[in-house]
Amino acid sequence: MSANVSHTPLLRVEGLQVAYGHIEAVKGIDFELREGEITALVGANGAGKSTTLMALSGLVKPRAGRFLFEGQDLGQLKPHERVARGIVQVAEGRAMLTTLTVRENLELGAYSRPGRKAAAGELERIFELFPRLKERLDGYAGNLSGGEQQMLAIGRALMAKPRVLLLDEPSMGLAPIVVQEIFRTLVSINRSGLTILLVEQNVRQALRIASQAYVLETGRIVLQGNGRALLDDPKVQAAYLGG
Ligand SMILES: Nc1ncnc2c1ncn2[C@@H]1O[C@H](COP(=O)(O)OP(=O)(O)O)[C@@H](O)[C@H]1O
Ligand SMILES: [Mg+2]
């Protein structure tokens, strides 16, 4: 980033604190997403990554903090109202509606944004990204492989026409080759202009594709910077990359 260019963030979180009873899961964090970029939030199990995403989606109520989207505080909005603004979290791959077909799952994604119906053009775009979903369009989601279910989950979220796509560990439980494929697709979706917040325990893969990244440890951000630069950081290597 050159010093004389000012980036107004699309989304900014200030002083976010979330607690479950006496457990302080997120202890006052600040971060921002620049429009059109992939931002990664990485860290070990229990660091507070999912809690942070749930706070953005409106699924947990923060104890403190502000959530600004295009400069507007959306902290009081209900989950469906945030979706309507374009803040869309990808469901967990395994949480696809297994007794519905691939097509029905995708159509549900479109309906998750009020007043919308699936347009044929959107389905075509998703088939370009995930040709296998097209082949299996009338099959039950429950018969898909883990990787295909993750693709369907992403496709369903895209049907809601997000402005920001939030993903919680899309690599979880998938074979390395499938993870590569999912991450390649995220890069391709991002190149088409979509802003992405990627939460990952797979630190290496996430930092490879992120322009900005934050490292979360027990509810606090301990490092931040360019994804590639963090990959080369000795502290990150020692703690997360087995270096
Ligand atoms: N529903 C819950 N009730 C109580 N504690 C929780 C709950 N969900 C998460 N936690 C705790 O909050 C902390 C952060 O969890 P989480 O956000 O799931 O981390 P991550 O996604 O990075 O693994 C952990 O200590 C976890 O045990
Ligand atoms: Mg988690």
Q: pLDDT tens digits, residue range 85-130?
A: 999 999 876 666 788 999 999 988 877 665 566 666 788 889 999 9
Of 16, 17, 20, 53, the one to substitute when testing ligand 1's pocket (max ligand atoms within 8 A of C-beta) is 20
Q: Is the CB of 203 within 6 Å of ligand 1?
A: no
- Relative to the alpha carbon of 45, which ligand is closest? 1
**Mean pLDDT, residues 158-179 taken together:** 94
Q: What is the pLDDT of residue 36?
A: 97
157 close to 91: Cβ distance less than 8 angstroms:
yes
pLDDT higher than threshold 60 for residue 17: yes
Q: Is the CB of 60 within 6 Å of ligand 1?
A: no
Asked if the structure places residue 25 within a domain, the reply is no
Residue 51 Cα to ligand 2 midpoint, Å, equals 7
Residue 119 Cα to ligand 2 midpoint, Å, equals 33
Task: Please give the residue range of the domain that contains residue 108.
Answer: 93-161
Q: What is the pLDDT of residue 8?
A: 78
Q: What is the pLDDT of residue 93?
A: 65
Residue 36 Cα to ligand 2 midpoint, Å, equals 24
Asked if the structure places residue 155 within a domain, the reply is yes
Asked if the structure places residue 63 within a domain, the reply is no
Q: What is the pLDDT of residue 94?
A: 65
pLDDT tens by residue, 194-211 = 999 999 999 999 999 999
Q: What is the pLDDT of residue 2?
A: 45
Question: How far is C-alpha 24 from the geometric centre of its chain's CA atoms?
Answer: 22
**Rounded Cα gap, residues 164 and 146, in angstroms:** 24
CA triple 226-228-229, angle to 5 deg: 65
Q: What is the pLDDT of residue 3?
A: 47
Q: What is the pLDDT of residue 50?
A: 97
CA 184, 185, 187, 191 torsion: positive or negative?
positive
**Mean pLDDT, residues 21-48 taken together:** 97
pLDDT higher than threshold 60 for residue 6: no
**Mean pLDDT, residues 153-159 taken together:** 93
Q: Say how many domains are in the chain.
A: 1
pLDDT higher than threshold 70 for residue 74: yes
Q: Which percentage of the chain shows pLDDT scores above 70?
A: 91
pLDDT higher than threshold 80 for residue 4: no
**Rounded Cα gap, residues 21 and 152, in angstroms:** 35
In ligand 1, which atom is closest to the CA atom of 219?
A: 14
Cβ atoms < 10 Å from Cβ of 98? 13
Q: Is the CB of 54 within 6 Å of ligand 1?
A: no
Asked if the structure places residue 32 within a domain, the reply is no
Asked if the structure places residue 73 within a domain, the reply is no
Q: Are strands 38-42 and 212-217 parallel, antiparallel or unpaired?
A: parallel
**Mean pLDDT, residues 13-25 taken together:** 97
Of 18, 22, 23, 49, the one to substitute when testing ligand 1's pocket (max ligand atoms within 8 A of C-beta) is 23
Q: What is the pLDDT of residue 25?
A: 98
